């Protein structure tokens, strides 16, 4: 039986990955900055909290990282911790840079120091590619980050590549495009659109205020994306992989799809709020999952319309959320 350590287990991806690894028979340990006070509500929603061993770990504190790894003795470490909001990174660039790059470096250093054959997955991001325009980004595409978040993720990506090359660690980054679920917080646009559209349909809200709705993104289903993380660590060689559906849609289409699904015409309810525009934006973000398909056998099953249905249905079918 293998042991996995998930850093950042309280987030969307951490919770789905924990559930996935439990189903595979793993002993799963999870960390959060302060496990005594974290709510772990995503673990409760998936009904897995009691099946995990939870630890406090401050990723920017090497001693705490080393202590937890020493105690858990994991076969695999998944680094999903750090600040995850691109929008917030413009307001908190130092916290973003520190939590992502120092956290990744401390984990890599601890694995190197302990000198055990621990496999390491790092959560990379398609934000690193910047604006892809008509091109489709793959694992060979140069990075061109356009936010403090993307700059930090690009640095972490190269830290992982450097430790793989210099010290022969089994370390890889998944360059994940946007992936959504009912566990997405409202600060991300998909959940904001879904929850507000439902509130409008129930007469509890009147308007949905959005920033730039012309942007194009590749929206996949988070529960599928965590499987790709696991598969990367089962591959014979450590390599980096782009994880995407391969389809892009503009935000306006996503909004129209959500409103149509709850029986409304979106054009009557949307207002553009210039204060929600980012200082620098990615107009189009297009990616190819071809390598992951060929080498890992991974392929996204759920595309944008399935994401919409899955997120809306989760709220409408859960009375505690829709009441
Ligand atoms: C791959 C990447 O994926 C995610 O980052 P994100 O793409 O920034 O996600 P988001 O949902 O905040 O924005 C999507 C787009 O939608 C635009 N947008 C318009 N109006 C609003 C709006 O009102 N709110 C928000 N949040 N966005 C808006 C916004 O300007 C942006 O162009 C994270 O998982 C990240 O960790 C990650 O790695």
Co-location of 166 and 188 in the same domain? no
Co-location of 194 and 234 in the same domain? no
Co-location of 9 and 148 in the same domain? yes
199 tagged catalytic = no
Please report whether residue 142 resides in a domain: yes
ipTM: 0.99
Report CA(178)–ligand 1 centroid distance (Å).
8
Residues whose CB falls within 8 Å of the CB of residue 128, separated by 6 or more in sequence, listed in order: 143, 144, 145, 150, 153, 154, 157, 175
Please report whether residue 42 resides in a domain: yes
Please report whether residue 226 resides in a domain: yes
Co-location of 154 and 213 in the same domain? no
What CATH number is given to the structural domain containing 128?
Answer: 3.40.50.720
Co-location of 19 and 114 in the same domain? yes
Co-location of 132 and 212 in the same domain? no
Co-location of 315 and 172 in the same domain? no
Please report whether residue 295 resides in a domain: no
165 tagged catalytic = no
pLDDT at 318: 75
Ligand 1, pocket-test mutation among 16, 84, 86, most atoms within 8 A of CB: 86
Ligand 1-lining residues (CB < 6 angstroms): 84, 86-87, 125-127, 177-178, 187-190, 192, 210-212, 215, 217, 251, 276, 278, 281
**Rounded distance, CA 303 to CA 280, Å?**
27
pLDDT at 141: 98
Looking up tokens 């009691």 gives: 50
Contact 176, 78 (CB under 8 A): no
Q: How deeply is 67 buried, as exposed, middle or buried, from its count of CB atoms within 10 A (0-12, 13-18, 19+)?
A: middle
Please report whether residue 298 resides in a domain: no
Co-location of 40 and 172 in the same domain? yes
Please report whether residue 25 resides in a domain: yes
What CATH number is given to the structural domain containing 272?
Answer: 3.90.25.10
- Determine which residue's CA is closest to atom 7 belonging to ligand 1: 178
Number of domains the chain is built from:
2
Co-location of 88 and 117 in the same domain? yes
Co-location of 121 and 207 in the same domain? no
pLDDT at 323: 41
Please report whether residue 261 resides in a domain: yes
Please report whether residue 291 resides in a domain: no
Co-location of 138 and 268 in the same domain? no
Co-location of 29 and 107 in the same domain? yes
125 tagged catalytic = yes
Q: Which domain holds residue 194?
A: 183-217+247-284+303-322
Residues whose CB falls within 8 Å of the CB of residue 14, separated by 6 or more in sequence, listed in order: 6, 8, 30, 42, 78, 80
Mean pLDDT per 10-residue section of the chain, whose length is 323 residues:
97 98 98 92 97 97 97 98 97 97 98 97 98 96 98 98 98 98 97 98 98 98 98 98 98 98 97 97 97 98 98 84 44
- Determine which residue's CA is closest to atom 34 belonging to ligand 1: 178
- Phi and psi at 81, nearest 5°, equal -90, 170
pLDDT tens figures, 102-135: 999 999 999 999 999 999 999 999 999 999 999 9
pTM for the whole structure: 0.97
Contact 183, 224 (CB under 8 A): no
């Amino acid at each position: 039986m293998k042991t996995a350590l998930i850093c950042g287990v309280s987030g969307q991806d951490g919770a789905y990955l924990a559930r996935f690894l439990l189903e595979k028979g793993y002993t799963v340990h999870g960390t959060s900055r302060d496990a005594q006070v974290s709510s772990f509500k995503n673990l409760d929603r998936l009904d897995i909290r009691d099946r995990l061993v939870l630890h406090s770990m401050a990723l920017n504190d090497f001693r705490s990282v080393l202590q937890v790894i020493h105690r858990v003795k994991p076969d695999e470490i998944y680094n999903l911790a750090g600040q995850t909001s691109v929008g917030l990174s413009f307001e908190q660039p130092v916290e973003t840079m520190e939590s992502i790059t120092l956290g990744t470096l401390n984990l890599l250093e601890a694995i190197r120091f302990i000198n055990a054959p621990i496999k390491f997955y790092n959560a990379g991001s398609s934000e690193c590619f910047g604006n892809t325009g008509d091109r489709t980004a793959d694992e060979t595409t140069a990075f061109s980050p356009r936010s403090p978040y993307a700059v930090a993720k690009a640095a972490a990506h190269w830290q992982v590549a450097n430790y793989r090359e210099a010290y022969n660690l089994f370390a890889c980054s998944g360059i994940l495009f946007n992936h959504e679920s009912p566990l997405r917080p409202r600060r991300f646009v998909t959940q904001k659109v879904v929850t507000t559209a439902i509130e409008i349909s129930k007469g509890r809200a009147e308007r949905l205020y959005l920033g730039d709705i012309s942007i194009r993104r590749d929206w996949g289903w988070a529960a599928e994306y965590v499987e790709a993380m696991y598969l990367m660590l089962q591959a014979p060689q450590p390599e980096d992989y782009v994880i995407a559906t391969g389809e892009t849609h503009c935000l306006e289409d996503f909004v129209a799809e959500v409103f149509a699904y709850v029986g409304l015409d979106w054009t009557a309810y949307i207002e553009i709020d210039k204060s929600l525009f980012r200082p620098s934006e990615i107009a189009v973000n297009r990616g190819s999952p071809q390598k992951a398909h060929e080498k890992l056998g991974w392929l996204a099953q759920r595309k944008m319309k399935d994401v919409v249905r899955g997120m809306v249905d989760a709220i409408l079918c859960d009375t505690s959320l829709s009441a």
